[in-house]
Amino acid sequence: MRDGEYEQFAEDLVSGSQQRQKLTLPLYSIARAILDLKNQRDKLQQYRKRITNLTDRETEIAKECLARNDRKRALLALRRKKYQESLLDKTDGQLAQLEQLTGQVEFALVQKDVLFGLQQGTQVLQTINKEMGGIEGVERLMGESEEARAYQEEVSQMLQGNLSTQDEEDVEDELEALQRDVAEPVHLPAPPTKEPPKREPMVEESTGEAEAETRTALPA
């Protein structure tokens, strides 16, 4: 049975009170877990598309900040971007692991682990949803107002302890790469140093000469 058919089978089992009454507890738990996994996967894909738009803008903001020598805000934008990406990767890996557990014959033995994992996945998805906040939140990373600075400090404090050492190193590497891109001059083609040669004007033949040549070319 393919994944889509398996999920439809589980949905059919869970839906309807009469069917639920006929299900044994382990079978109902398996069906319920499959549906929860499907819902979490669907939400994750939606969040991934939306966060990609935000992280692209955060990269642009980091470049803009570096162009005006504001390294602190550039680093903040890249750290937030890294945190959002790590949340998606963490949830993606966790769901893949749970899918393997639900496919085991000994599901009853790992049922508690699956249910606990689903609960954790729900919490992480809620965190991701809170993190997205729209493009307005990303733009506030560049703001100079008192409100914007307070928001930037809040984001900075939230990121403390939520990024691993490797994440921080990756952010520093990305920041250096962006600095090189911003500092690299744009090479434009050099203007010509010589004037193009002037064309000689075309001298048109007189009508009489042209007619004479035409008559000469015709056979007698």
Residue 69 burial (C-beta neighbours within 10 Å; 0-12, 13-18, 19+): exposed
Nearest to 128 by CA among 73, 74, 50, 60: 50
**Cβ–Cβ < 8 Å for 117, 98:** yes
* pLDDT confidence of residue 109: 47
Q: pTM score, two decimals?
A: 0.57
Residue by residue, DSSP assigns 5-25 as HHHHHHHHHHSSHHHHHHS-H
Consecutive 10-residue averages of pLDDT for the chain (220 residues): 50 50 55 72 77 86 92 92 85 72 53 60 64 68 84 85 89 92 68 63 53 52
pLDDT in tens, 100-145: 665 554 455 455 555 666 666 666 666 666 665 566 777 878 888 8
* pLDDT confidence of residue 88: 79
Radius of gyration, alpha carbons of the chain: 33
Q: Alpha-carbon distance 111 to 119, whole Å?
A: 12
Residue by residue, DSSP assigns 40-93 as HHHHHHHHHHHHHHHHHHHHHHHHHHHHTT-HHHHHHHHHHHHHHHHHHHHHHH
**Cβ–Cβ < 8 Å for 72, 171:** no
Q: Encoding tokens for residue 213?
A: 């040549």
